[in-house]
Structure 1
Amino acid sequence: MLYRLTKIVSAPFLHLLWPTEVIGAEHVPGAGPAILASNHLSVLDSTFLPLVLPRQVRFVAKAEYFTGNPVTAAWMRATGQISIDRQSPTAAQDMLDTAARVLRDGELFGIYPEGTRSPDGRLYRGKVGVSWLALATGAPVVPVAMSGTDKVLPIGASTPRLGRVGVRIGKPLTFTGSETSARDRRQVTDEIMAAIQELSGQEYVPSYAPKRTTDE
């Protein structure tokens, strides 16, 4: 209920300031689990994507967002985000286990296969967590391409700028294979990244994006 109320109140305001074009929303299943695998340009990606879809999308976010700024903490809780201690030595597996539970409950889970925001607008090699989820749960993967969010709130900026945002959503992808097979995980991840690139038109970089110590 809190999520719906937050969306009803905030969506018109956000669309007024940042007109958002959505293409392919019909590809998101109306019910049941699905993984929304998106490129990652700005911290605002996790705000705009859920607001353009009728169903709630769950993301994981670092625990500091829930204990620092009270406004940010309230927003995270209101939008149903999941707190993860990224300093924990088991943080990566904890995130995947939490995501798997979300999917097995029939919900939508959002993930950024690059693992961090793109530092330069290009699309970087995906990490295999997304394929582990798809193969372990059998949930379809829906590729997503965000655009414009890096202009609205670039890395290092604290105040959003006016601008237009785009969300392109592709057809669901289903995969077969074993989550325990490194070869299967790599192949599936590369197929997902190719689908994202086709939607986004970004230049692809066949290496992992450099990690920012202050990233979400």
Structure 2
Amino acid sequence: MFYWFLKFVAIGPAVRLVFRPRAEGREHVPADGAAILASNHLSAADWIFMPLSLRRRVTFLAKAEYFTGRGVKGRLQRAFFSGAGQVPIDRSSATAAEGAIRTGIGILEQGRLLGIYPEGTRSPDGRLYRGKTGVARMTLETGAPVVPVAMTYTPRRMPFGSRLPRVCVRFGEPLDFSRYEGLAGDRFVERSITDEIMYEVMTLSGQEYVDVYGASVKKAQAAGGRPGVLPPPAGEAGDRAPDTLAG
């Protein structure tokens, strides 16, 4: 109930009035049944704009830190994110990553829409980074189609010199991976599926693709790495990193 209150009363109307987000390809999202909405991740507001463009409820996997705050602020934050359709996942270990995948599978088995960011984190510089293979595991184990999604933000000048982005949400045609049925757990198959998904996201978004993990770039930058100098591409072991699903 709180989800629909936020969407249609408390937040949704104001966001639509101010940003006037545009949606393309909504007909590609199934009207019912399970589906994975695999999106690029450019802004902390991505999870607001995408659901506003759809009639169906979208459930996101979110980092557990959003749900563990203390005091009045922590309780309010926990209530807000829970009501907004987000489910907490622990990203602190490889075991936790497996738990996140199982959580996502459970959501899909209920016939719901699951929104995830295969990059595992927000883009550090606007480019599209290598996807984590958790999305492949989930589509293989549930048979749910994957709808690639691209969030785009372009500058626009507003009255009195202010600036707000022009927001567009693009939904691509559903991707069916039933040809790989029974191959969940095969890391080469999962990597192939993930790369196909990221290619479709890249085509929709127009972003430059970089074949390294965004989290690795952020880590290198935090350690004092030079801007524009990327770490080497990750091997398959990197696909089991703790941030397999959410940023």
Alpha-carbon distance, 1:6 to partner: 1.4
Number of aligned residue pairs: give it: 207
Report the equivalent of 1:207.
Answer: 212
Report the equivalent of 1:119.
Answer: 124
Do the aligned residues in 1 keep the contact of 2:90 with 2:100 (CA within 8 Å)?
Answer: no
Describe the shift of the 1:18–1:72 C-alpha distance in structure 2 as closer, same or farther (beyond 3 A): farther
Distance 2:199 2:93 in 1: 31
Do the aligned residues in 2 keep the contact of 1:125 with 1:193 (CA within 8 Å)?
Answer: yes
Asked whether 1:197 is paired with 2:202, we answer: yes
Structure 2 counterparts to residues 50-89 of structure 1, below 5 A: 50-68=51-69, 69-70=73-74, 71-89=76-94
What residue identity is the alignment partner of 2:54? L
What residue identity is the alignment partner of 1:173? L
Report the equivalent of 1:4.
Answer: 4
Distance 1:30 1:127 in 2: 27
SS in 1 for 2:102: helix
SS in 1 for 2:215: coil
Structure 2 counterparts to residues 152-167 of structure 1, below 5 A: 162-167=164-169
Alpha-carbon distance, 1:88 to partner: 4.7
Do the aligned residues in 2 keep the contact of 1:33 with 1:104 (CA within 8 Å)?
Answer: yes
Distance 2:2 2:215 in 1: 36
Do the aligned residues in 2 keep the contact of 1:59 with 1:109 (CA within 8 Å)?
Answer: yes
Do the aligned residues in 2 keep the contact of 1:144 with 1:169 (CA within 8 Å)?
Answer: yes
For residues 33-81 of structure 1, the C-alpha deviation after alignment (integer angstroms, 9 at most, x for no partner) is: 0000000111111111112111111111122212334443232011121
Give the number of the structure whose alpha-carbon radius of gyration is greater: 2
Report the equivalent of 1:18.
Answer: 19
SS in 2 for 1:37: strand
Distance 1:91 1:4 in 2: 30
What residue identity is the alignment partner of 2:130? R
Report the RMSD for the aligned CA atoms in angstroms: 2.1
Distance 1:89 1:179 in 2: 17
Q: How high is the TM-score relative to the length of structure 1?
A: 0.89
| Unpaired segments ≥5 residues, structure 1 | 153-160
Q: How high is the TM-score relative to the length of structure 2?
A: 0.78
Q: Tell me which protein shows more helix as a share of its residues.
A: 2
SS in 1 for 2:132: coil
Distance 1:121 1:88 in 2: 27
Asked whether 1:143 is paired with 2:148, we answer: yes
Report the equivalent of 1:181.
Answer: 186
Describe the shift of the 1:138–1:187 C-alpha distance in structure 2 as closer, same or farther (beyond 3 A): same
Identity of aligned residues (%): 52
Report the equivalent of 1:110.
Answer: 115
Do the aligned residues in 2 keep the contact of 1:19 with 1:163 (CA within 8 Å)?
Answer: no
Alpha-carbon distance, 1:206 to partner: 1.4
Report the equivalent of 1:38.
Answer: 39
Which stretch of the first structure deviates more once superposed, 12-21 or 100-109? 12-21
